[in-house]
Structure 1
Amino acid sequence: MAIRKRKKILRYTILSGCLVAVATSGVWFATYRHYNAKLIDERAAYEEQLNDKDEVLQRYMDQSQTAYVLISPKLAGEVITAEDVMEEKLPKFSSPDNLISESKAIVGKYLKIDALSGTAVTTEMIRDEARLEPSERKEETEYIKLPLRLTKKDVVDIRIVFPNGEDYIVVGKKSLKDVDLANQYTFFNDNEEEAQLLQAALVDAYINNAELYMKQYVEPELQPEPVVNYVPNLDVLGVIKDNPFIIDQAKWSLAANLRKELEKRLEVMEDEDRIRVGAQAPSGSGVIQRKAVQGAAAAEEAAKVDDSQSVNGVIDRTNQAPIDSSADQSSTGVTNKEAATDDSLLEGE
């Protein structure tokens, strides 16, 4: 009897244990499925976030631009070395347009202003020389004949040619800041000596029928600066010798004799031979001829002229026969005489 009772208890115990094990396994399995499904959902959401971030990052990379950032603070006037900058990608929408994207355009240049570390270097922040000359100024010219393909990135010499064919360099190797080709304007920086030479050359253009023109460099980085061999008139030489901004006076010591010899050569020329090489007098010259035609009335006059040599609306007529400015002056004089006669008649009345 006792044995049968123990067997019955053992049977119930085993059955209960099996039921508990089954129930526990079911609960565990259900819990596992629940958390596994939740984990799958979280993983899917995380992967979706990653994909969204990848898209944003790709858009950022597509709309970024290369820039060079200062690693350490620099003071104005200090030279920038290769160890001072590092390359970075900056978003284009929040970066200035004049960022420098090549290290060779930065290394060896000088800062114009103090800059902290992390500052992106722009073209307006650097210059070629450590310090500005005291007399350096912005120059604007309209009286120089420009090449038709001139751009604001060009480096040029400004030259002058006299009616007898003598050709001199007035200003050498100037980097242009801006160009208005249609109106024949150029903008660059010059010092006091260069400004004096340019003004003297302009006087020669009026008095001696000389022509001022620009010539572009082929490879400015490989070509050295030329020796300026233009000699201004004696009055300008006197101003140069007394000008405190012009330090190098030694090269002008023999200039007076050179100028006198040039003027002697020009004086022996006959009046009919005194024509400007390539254009007319500055007041109505090749400078004016090569300006873009503007307005309906001007367009009608331009239609009568052969514009086969025009480029981008700028007409090259420097090879045409020069206009006799004396005829214009005589006609102007006649008009003035007629006006004076009319005035005297009115006064007599």
Structure 2
Amino acid sequence: MAVKIVGSRRNRVSFLTLIMVIVAGILLFAAAGLFGFKMYKQMEKEYQDKIAVYEEELDIYKSIVDENTRTVYIPHEEIKFNTVLEEDMFYVEEIFSSIPQEDFIDETDLGKVATLDVPAGNPVLKYMVEDQLIPDDVRNVEFSTFMLQSNIREGDFIDVRIRFPNGEDYIVLSKKKVEGIRLQTSTIWLNIKHGELMTVSSAIVDAYLKEGTKLYVVKYVDAQTQNRARETYPVNDHVRKIMREDPNILEKASNVLSEQARMSLEERLENVLGDHMKSAISDELSSLNSNVQEVLKQEAANQRAIGEKESADGQAAKEQQKPGSGQNNEKGSVIDGDD
């Protein structure tokens, strides 16, 4: 009986131990599950928070992109300084830029002129263009009274200046575009206003009345970046009085100064040629002269040959007219035929 009791107790202890182990395992599993669920919820919250932050940042980026998206006009090819803007010169595109939209040109700026060279592929900004407003009193005027630089070309910008014998130098016209030029006759065309025309006329007469005075032009090196100079020539009241008293004096002065300008330009062009060019021209003329002499000799030889042939033909004709010459020729013909 004692043995049975002891054995039953051991079985009960083992059973209770097993139950405790199972309960402990269940509790441990439950605890792990609760811990894992808590960690999952924490990670999910962190993930949701990150998503919210990313979405917020994305909204900010979208807002920045929208706020900095600009509609711009981009030239297909380089636009040269002082070119009138036309619609077919551009293609319209949206770009990202921090420059305000109002600083870029739009359709209202078409018809304006470029104030500098605009490279192809670059958006055009407002400061690069300006209105092309031509006052009512502007006229295209021809001048042949200025001493011109030999390197001036159409489209260049110049100042017209006057230099007196005492060294005083004044600006008569400032930053004028050369609308046309003919160096051979020292002639230039400028667009000027009525008041400027009166100033130039006074300067022409002034240069005519004061011997040794020069009316000349100088070219801007970089008209895009160089500012317009201020006119400094003071119109002479004495000159105005003379012009009123003698209406023809402006024409006289223009003729004299025109002749002086042409002579000055011819001298400078001759100096530009230099000894090398003169030698080259001389060699070319010598070569041309030699060729001409050869042609003349050949022509003379041809004429002699023609004369000798005509003389021979005449002699042959006389021989045929002699008695018996026909029979001899007929006999010769028969012999040739037999041959």
Q: Shorter-normalised TM-score: what interval?
A: 0.3 to 0.5
TM-score by length of 2: 0.39
Larger Rg: 2
TM-score by length of 1: 0.38
